[in-house]
Amino acid sequence: MTIAAFGAIHLDTLAHADRAILRDTSTPARLTTCPGGVAANVARALARLSPPCALAGAVGRDSDGDALLASLRAEGIDVSRVHRSDHPTGRYLALHDPDGGLAAAVVDGTITDALRPGDLDLAHPALAEADLWFLEANLPQPVLAQIAAAAGHRLLAADAVSIAKAPRLNEVLGRLDVLFCNREEGAALLGHARAGPETAPEEDAREIACALVALGVGACLVSDGPAPLALATPDACLHLAVAPAPVRDVTGAGDALIAGTLAARARGWNVVDAARAGLAAARVTVQAQGAAPATLTWDAVIRESATIATPVS
């Protein structure tokens, strides 16, 4: 099974300061740049775990866009259908204190917000031949709707991205085979689906997952950092424990959970075992720096997922 990911493709600049970030003056720091954005991170992790992966979204006609595409291509991702936009390439800037904590972050995702349904060439073989499509709520609602409508027989998976953007998935919920969200995003999506822009009263991840399945999602995975992952399907509502790990950097943990789960689904694993593979991929990722670290391999996922207990409902 091959996979295509649709969504944000950013150039991330990460600053790691040598003292607590100071607000009114410059703080000495090490700066690194790397690809980012949910869809790009999921594609990078998939490229490490899985059969061929294509990525669609937008980058600018600028040197940042050229550099991003070259870097993603070198990681084995098919970027031939990435739209070149007149907007500047999306950027994310994070300032980290010496303990790794995030002091501040800003993002310019105008280029993704400006995507229109005609910009993505869904009929092109690079995308059309994929058996599983993954989309994420950085995309504008009309583009999400277009992709969901064109998905046809394919497996369709989605990530809710943030509390603010999660409600964009509202109108495609009934078409989703798999939905990934964290607890807060799930509550926001549920509240919006029921009543408008309000948070749902449910606080338990399992209740949120079950309620989203009741709205038509095929399987819903609700993560909660180091707390258990909730997994609901029409037949089951489970908690899967997150195995403790020496955490180095939680960047990309949610994206690795998605990539591990989808890579296992693409290999024909059932949804519960696929979620265990997702947890294994997240566990490998939090122990290394950045999303899609070199330690994230299918062998490592197999090894780690054997240590993740089979859940009981």
Ligand X SMILES: Nc1ncnc2c1ncn2[C@@H]1O[C@H](COP(=O)(O)OP(=O)(O)OP(=O)(O)O)[C@@H](O)[C@H]1O
Binding site for ligand X (CB under 6 A): 182, 223-226, 229, 242, 245, 247, 250, 252-255, 257, 279, 282, 286
Stretch that binds Mg ion, among 211-219, 253-261, 262-270, 274-282 (CB under 5 A): 253-261
- What gap in Å lies between CA 239 and CA 200, rounded to an integer? 20
Binding residue count for Mg ion, defined by CB under 5 A: 1
Tokens 């993954």 correspond to what residue? Answer: 134
Measured from the CB atom, the residue of 193 and 292 that comes closer to ligand X is 292
As measured in angstroms, the least distance from the Cβ of 229 to Mg ion is 12
- What gap in Å lies between CA 140 and CA 165, rounded to an integer? 9
List, in order, residues 6 or more apart from 4 with CB less than 8 Å away: 53, 54, 55, 56, 126, 127, 130, 132, 133, 134
As measured in angstroms, the least distance from the Cβ of 205 to ligand X is 9
DSSP for 236-304? -EEEEPPPP---S--TTHHHHHHHHHHHHHHTT--HHHHHHHHHHHHHHHHTSSSSS-TT--HHHHHHH
Stretch that binds Mg ion, among 59-67, 143-151, 191-199, 252-260 (CB under 5 A): 252-260
Does the footprint of Mg ion cover residue 254 (CB under 5 A)?
Answer: yes
| Token digits of residue 27 | 């703080």
216, interface contact from ligand X, Mg ion, none, CB < 5-8 Å by kind: none
Does the footprint of Mg ion cover residue 37 (CB under 5 A)?
Answer: no
CB atoms within 10 A of CB 215: 16
Measured from the CB atom, the residue of 218 and 254 that comes closer to Mg ion is 254
Measured from the CB atom, the residue of 32 and 142 that comes closer to ligand X is 32
Measured from the CB atom, the residue of 38 and 211 that comes closer to ligand X is 38
- What gap in Å lies between CA 12 and CA 4, rounded to an integer? 22
DSSP-assigned letter for residue 218: S
Stretch that binds Mg ion, among 49-57, 127-135, 164-172, 248-256 (CB under 5 A): 248-256
Contact 67, 89 (CB under 8 A): no
Measured from the CB atom, the residue of 167 and 254 that comes closer to Mg ion is 254
Give the interface with Mg ion as residue ranges (CB under 5 A).
254
